[in-house]
Structure 1
Amino acid sequence: MEGGSRLRAWGATLGGLMVVLAVLTACAGPYQYYEGTGLHDTTTAEVAGGWENVEGTRVVLRENGTALFEKLDGQDFDFEDGWRLSGTGTWQLTDRDGGQVVRLALTARTRVGRRFPVTSTDASTPEPPSTYAWSFYVDRDPHDELELFFFYGDPDIGNTYVMTRETGS
């Protein structure tokens, strides 16, 4: 009988440990601890130019550090609000331990769009920001072409919002 009690106690302890580990790792989504792409060799001249994505977003990064934004969605959980911002601002290429990042800042909003139609008059829907900042990771695709991306939505899912060189740029 004593051996059975020890076995049950061991099983309960192991089961409790598994529950604790499951809880601790449940919130650690793919990008919560993302360090970057490891890319450090991109130049400002290489990043400058037109960028687009499949949703009709367009960003122009000028060599003088100014930028034009058309229909750029929010990153992280802001993406779920559905707004798309257009306007002007600034950009810079930064380098940190994990890799390079393009930081964009919308300083003058000219238009707000919606990714999906607003069907309710719910007052809890947040007002789109008049200024906003994004951080795009710099990476290379399998053909060694640059791409810029950020994560959006629920961090446990790891969705990426990818910008590629504008066709004809």
Structure 2
Amino acid sequence: MARGSRLRAWGMILGAWMAVLSGLTACAGPYQYFEGTGIHDATAAEVAGGWENIEGTRVLLREDGTALLENLDGSGFDFEEGWRLSGTGTWRLVDPKGGQVVQLALTARTRVENRSAATATATAAPEPPTSYAWSFSVDRDEHGELNLFFLYGDPDIGNLYVMTREPASRDGGAPAAP
């Protein structure tokens, strides 16, 4: 076989492999395979307290492991449904290999709201769940303050739903109950 023929054959094989690998990784956005923040030093006492986000969501994580939730959106693809849940539940801080996670479970739903009029009037929208579970990753900002977040929507996009400490909780005061 001539040298040019061998190079062409290797080029075709390499090109085929690159096409296969491109196809396999085409949907792998920045957070598709998120494995955690690597944070392992947070304590349950540090996580307990009031949390909020810019959309008006409020969560109170009590030291006894109970929780109050107000207008908390669904995580992952459930976010697209548009419902926001309020009620009571439980929480716990776990420490898997990739980094700490706050597992929050709504056990008694007291209210459902919708983010927009479009989702409220959709005829095919499924009934919002009466119980639900979230996994908030634990992270620290540049000042060492805790943040809690989960990913929502298409994992290729990497949307973050971020909860920050309520100002009263940051200053050592008791957070307001949602």
Deviation for aligned residue 1:6: 4.8
Number of the residue aligned with 2:175:
none
CA distance in 2, matches of 1:68, 1:24: 42
Q: How many residues align?
A: 169
Matched, 1:42 2:52: no
The normalised TM-score by structure 2 is 0.86
In the alignment, the residues of structure 2 paired with residue 13 and residue 122 of structure 1 have an alpha-carbon distance, to the nearest angstrom, of 50
Letter in 1 for 2:139: D
- 1:61 pairs with 2:61: yes
Q: CA deviation at 1:74?
A: 0.6
**Distance in 2, Cα, partners of 1:79 & 1:42:** 27
8 Å CA contact 2:52–2:163 kept in 1: the answer is yes
1:88-121 Cα offsets, whole Å, 9 max, x none, are 1010111111111100000011111111213686
Question: When the two structures are superposed, what TM-score results if normalisation uses the length of structure 1?
Answer: 0.90
In the alignment, structure 2 segments of 5+ residues that lack a partner are 170-178
**8 Å contact kept, 2:82–2:119:** no
Segment drifting more, 35-44 vs 122-131: 122-131
Deviation at 1:46, TM superposition (A): 0.7
Secondary structure at 2:60's aligned position in 1?
A: strand
Query: What SS does structure 1 have at the residue aligned with 2:167?
Result: coil
8 Å Cα contact 2:94/2:100 also seen in 1: yes
Partner of 2:87: 87
Is 1:113 equivalent to 2:113 in the alignment? yes
Letter in 2 for 1:146: L
Computed over aligned residues only, the root mean square deviation of the Cα atoms, in angstroms, reads 2.0
- DSSP-derived class of the 1:118 partner: helix
Structure 1 residues 68, 158: closer, same or farther in 2, change over 3 A? same
Residue pairs, 1:136-147, within 5 angstroms: 136-147=136-147
Aligned to 1:150: 150
Letter in 2 for 1:51: W
Which amino acid in structure 2 is aligned with residue 34 of structure 1?
Answer: F
Structure-2 change in CA distance of 1:69 and 1:76 (3 Å): same
C-alpha distance in 2 between matches for 1:123 and 1:10: 56
Matched letter for residue 125 of structure 2 = T
Report the alpha carbon displacement of residue 31 of structure 1 after superposing the two structures with TM.
2.6
Q: Distance in 2 between matches of 1:119 and 1:29?
A: 27
1:38 counterpart letter in structure 2: G
| SS of corresponding position for 1:168 | helix
2:174 equivalent in structure 1: none
CA apart distance, 1:37:
1.2
More strand by share: 1
